[in-house]
Amino acid sequence: MQRVFRRRHVIPLALMSTVIAREAMAEDSVTIYGRLNTAIEYSRASTATDGTKLGSTVRQTNNRSVFGFRGVEHLGGSLQAVWQIESNVSLDTGQGQIAGRNTRVGLQGDYGLLFMGHWQTPYTESTAGYDPYYPTTAGYMALIGNGSTSSSDNVQDTSSFDRRQKNIIQSRSPQLGGASLWLGWGLPEEKTTVPRNPALYSAALVYERGPLGATIAYEVHSHYQAAGRNDDALKVALAYQLFPGTRLAALYEHLHYRTDTGDLQRNGYYASLVQKLGTGSVRVGVAYAANGTGSSTDTIGFFRSGSETNAMQFTVGYDYPLSKRTALYAYYSRIHNKKNAIYDFAINELGVSAGADPQTLALGMRHFF
């Protein structure tokens, strides 16, 4: 349950008759909200190509729990000041960081939304809802987006296209026929600290109307791997509610890195099914990352160029709601790496070597407030 606190302005009696109607519709508000999401996992990996073998482990994992405040101030007409401060909450270790997750201040009105702060890029946020396991150990970010970074600027993480970007300005247009354009610019503040001028540019055209959802997203990482060279990613996704209780989603992604040693490219594919069964729902996700191609000899994130560098991830689980805000869940996820592939879980990774298959069995609980 979200806690909402409202503040009314004190109005002189002589002016009350002229402003009472406006004040009744222009209340400012502050909302306290959060998500607590943790699981007990039994995790292991098969023997790697070089004979390395990780032992099995039982662990408690934190699936990006959050605690936050968001607010609205009405400025007249349709114009509003909007803000949010969202913080990390680690249930397993007790650690956290103020404003470590989606945090912003901006203006919203009839012409859309404009904000600045520390936020997921349009490329990332536009398809997060296509994965029923986002963001958990089993999330599609292991193969889609080339890993996941909870927070980064233009030099801290230069591989992942699933990211929350520091120092970002974003705009979102109003919906027109169900479509909205999202734009983001990660400011080049690192220009004074590195011998290049890195920046991020992200865009997504998002369509949501009735049972159909669709996204086309594109992102450029300028001067990330080398001066004068850009990385880019293209993603196309569809989701459809077949009928109440059944939802299908599918996604295609192409990643292209340009390094000092040459180009590195890779195609990725993802599909998911959410099917209501009894009180809860069965959730299935399948991802495939093709062989890396190109002349680059670098390993970037989870992939490299060459034969047998492809991988597949399969996840199946069941989500059982105890109420509108609380649920229990269980899932099994495994990444099958070919002998030269090094894909690992993007969140709560195990640290596998080439050819090893990471897998996990999780029993968890999720609560929203």
* Coil vs helix vs strand at 310: coil
**Residue 46: pLDDT over 60:** yes
**Residue 24: pLDDT over 70:** no
**Residue 25: pLDDT over 90:** no
Contacts of 211 (CB under 8 A, 6+ apart): 240, 241, 242
**Residue 276: pLDDT over 80:** yes
Q: What is the pLDDT of residue 279?
A: 96
Domains and CATH numbers, the chain: 3-368 (2.40.160.10)
**Residue 9: pLDDT over 90:** no
**Residue 6: pLDDT over 70:** no
**Out of 11-25, 42-56, 87-101, which region has the weakest mean confidence (pLDDT)?**
11-25
What are 364's two structure tokens? 């968890």
Strands 246-259 and 162-172: unpaired
In 3D, which of 252, 237, 163, 235 has the Cα closest to residue 200? 163
DSSP string, 273-307: EEEEETTEEEEEEEEEEPPBBSS----BTTB-BST
The whole-number average pLDDT for the span 232-250 is 96
**Residue 20: pLDDT over 50:** no
The whole-number average pLDDT for the span 281-293 is 98
Separation of alpha carbons 74 and 79, rounded Å: 6
**Out of 1-10, 181-190, 311-320, which region has the weakest mean confidence (pLDDT)?**
1-10
pTM: 0.91
Q: What is the pLDDT of residues 76-125, one digit of tens each?
A: 999 999 999 999 999 889 888 999 999 999 999 999 999 999 999 999 99
Separation of alpha carbons 343 and 335, rounded Å: 7
**Residue 335: pLDDT over 60:** yes
- Give backbone dihedrals phi and psi of 13, rounded to 5 degrees, phi first: -60, -35
Q: What is the pLDDT of residue 277?
A: 97
DSSP string, 144-179: SSSSEEEEE-TTT-SS-SEEEEEEEEEEEPPPBTTE
Using 50, 70 and 90 to split pLDDT, how confident is the model at 11?
Answer: very low
Q: What is the pLDDT of residue 292?
A: 98
Separation of alpha carbons 74 and 111, rounded Å: 15
Strands 148-152 and 162-172: parallel
User: What is the maximum alpha-carbon separation in the chain?
Assistant: 84
The 8-class DSSP code of residue 242 comes to E
